């Protein structure tokens, strides 16, 4: 992961710079419930959710978090009503188009992970364009999981490795954790140190199953559209109190 040191802005005094997570992953949940509470259609929650994500990205960059990975659409989310799925695809496309100039000027490197080939063609065009235009940026690595499933990712890795074994390029005994990681979508980015889920749900819903083996989990009751800097600050404070043992004894 090549991320240049950033000038930190406004890091709250009670946070220790050296103990910040390098990589934060977020399951942005609760858009539908947020909208329902306001008496609005679910899609309005997704719309507001984009603002919350923009704010979190800005905050991560300001405070010196090197990588942010956000779960935007799971492989299971295709099971939602067609109009919601279509709205989300349209929203993703529109947001990338609207935000690309700012991503470039803010030195954000954007990457999309997931099974991108089954997304609408016009969305794929925006996705690849945004990845190409920001590929040399070094301010922050921003990964968006779109049509992403942890199980699907692991199966994809197995297929790629099995093909190499079949072709004689690899021996079964060459397969180890390091080799496996080379085939994950997230190659080149360290594992998440902190994984946040909003809306109070205590589950991982098929997100980054391999990569979160030793992530610290933080669940906020706040619904995603209301997740702001103060909430992120609370999550980071909680994270900095954790004793990360990685199976060892301190
Ligand atoms: C998360 O919010 C956004 C996506 C999964 C796209 P939800 O849409 O899951 O909101 P709730 O969980 O129904 O409130
Ligand atoms: C997880 O939220 C997926 C995203 C945030 C994109 P869901 O709302 O789909 O998860 P479940 O159904 O509550 O497990
Ligand atoms: Mg949900």
Please write the tens of the pLDDT for every residue from 35-49.
Answer: 999 999 999 999 999
CB of residue 74 inside a 6 A radius of ligand 2: yes
Q: What is the pLDDT of residues 215-237, one digit of tens each?
A: 999 999 999 999 999 999 999 99
Q: Has residue 34 been placed in a domain?
A: yes
In this prediction, residue 250 carries a pLDDT of 86
Ligand 2 site, residue 112, Cβ cutoff 6 A: no
In a domain, 246, yes or no: no
Cβ–ligand 2 contact at 77 (below 6 Å) = yes
Q: Which residue has the higher pLDDT, 5 or 23?
A: 23
Alpha-carbon distance of 217 to 228, in angstroms, equals 18
The answer on pLDDT for 4 being more than 80 is: no
Domain assignment present for residue 179? The answer is: no
CB of 147 sitting under 6 A from ligand 2? no
- Residues marked as catalytic: 29, 77
Q: Report how far apart, in Å, the C-alpha atoms of 92 and of each of 58, 95, 135, 136, 205 are.
A: 18, 5, 19, 22, 20
Spacing, Cα 220 to ligand 2 middle (Å): 14
Work out the number of other CB atoms within 10 angstroms of the CB of residue 105.
10
What are 20's two structure tokens?
């910040």
- Which H or E run includes 156? helix 150-166
Cβ atoms within 10 Å of 17's Cβ, excluding its own: 9
Mutational test site, ligand 2, from 32, 49, 74, max ligand atoms within 8 Å of CB:
74
Asked if 191 and 23 count as a contact pair (C-beta separation under 8 A), the reply is: yes
Q: What is the rounded distance in angstroms from the CA atom of residue 89 to the CA atom of residue 47?
A: 12
Distance 191 CA to ligand 2 centre (A): 21
145: helix, strand or coil: strand
Q: Which ligand is nearest to the CA of 72?
A: 2
Mean pLDDT, range 210-218, rounded to an integer: 98
200 forms beta bridges with none
Q: Of 128, 149, 131, 154, give the one whose Cα is nearest residue 141.
A: 131
Nearest CA to ligand 1 atom 13: 32
* Mean pLDDT calculated for residue range 176-190: 98
- At residue 6 the predicted structure's pLDDT band, cuts being 50, 70 and 90, is low
As a dihedral over the C-alpha atoms of residue 21, residue 27, residue 33, residue 38, rounded to 10 degrees, the angle is: 50
Q: Does ligand 2 have an atom closer than 6 angstroms to the CB of 206?
A: no
Q: Does residue 222 lie within any of the structural domains?
A: yes
121, part of any domain: yes
Pocket test for ligand 1, best of 33, 77, 203, 227 (most atoms within 8 A of CB): 33
CB of 114 within 8 A of CB of 148? yes
Alpha carbons 152 and 155: distance in angstroms, whole number:
5
Total domain count for the chain?
1
pLDDT digits (tens, 9 = 90+) for 149-171: 999 999 999 999 999 999 999 99
Report if residue 25 sits inside a domain. yes
CATH number (domain holding residue 33): 3.40.1180.10
| DSSP 3-state of 176 | coil
Q: Is the CB of residue 65 less than 8 Å from the CB of residue 17? A: no
Alpha-carbon span 199 to 195, nearest angstrom = 14
Q: pTM score, two decimals?
A: 0.96
Domain that residue 125 falls in: 21-149+192-240
Burial class of residue 15 (count of CB atoms within 10 Å of its CB; 0-12, 13-18, 19+): middle
Residue 9 pLDDT class (50, 70, 90 cuts): confident
């Amino acid at each position: 992961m090549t991320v240049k040191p950033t000038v930190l802005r406004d890091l709250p005094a009670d946070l220790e710079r050296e103990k910040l997570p390098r990589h934060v992953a977020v399951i942005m949940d609760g858009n539908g419930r947020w909208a329902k509470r306001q008496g609005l259609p679910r899609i309005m929650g997704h719309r507001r959710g984009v603002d919350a994500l923009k704010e979190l990205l800005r905050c991560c960059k300001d405070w010196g978090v090197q990588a942010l990975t956000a779960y935007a659409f799971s492989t299971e989310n295709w099971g939602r009503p067609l109009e919601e799925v279509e709205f989300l695809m349209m929203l993703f496309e529109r947001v990338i188009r609207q935000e690309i100039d700012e991503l470039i000027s803010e030195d954000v490197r954007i990457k999309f992970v997931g099974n991108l080939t089954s997304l609408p063609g016009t969305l794929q065009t925006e996705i690849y364009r945004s990845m190409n235009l920001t590929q040399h940026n070094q301010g922050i690595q921003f990964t968006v999981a779109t049509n992403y499933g942890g199980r699907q990712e692991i199966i994809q890795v197995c297929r790629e490795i099995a093909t190499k074994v079949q072709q004689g390029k690899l021996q079964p005994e060459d397969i180890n954790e390091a080799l496996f990681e080379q085939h994950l979508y997230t190659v080149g980015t360290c594992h998440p140190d902190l994984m946040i889920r909003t809306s109070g749900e205590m589950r991982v819903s098929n997100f980054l199953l391999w990569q979160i083996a030793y992530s610290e989990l933080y669940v906020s009751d706040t619904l995603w559209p209301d997740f702001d800097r103060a909430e992120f600050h609370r999550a980071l404070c909680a994270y900095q109190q954790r004793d990360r043992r990685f199976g060892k004894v301190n």
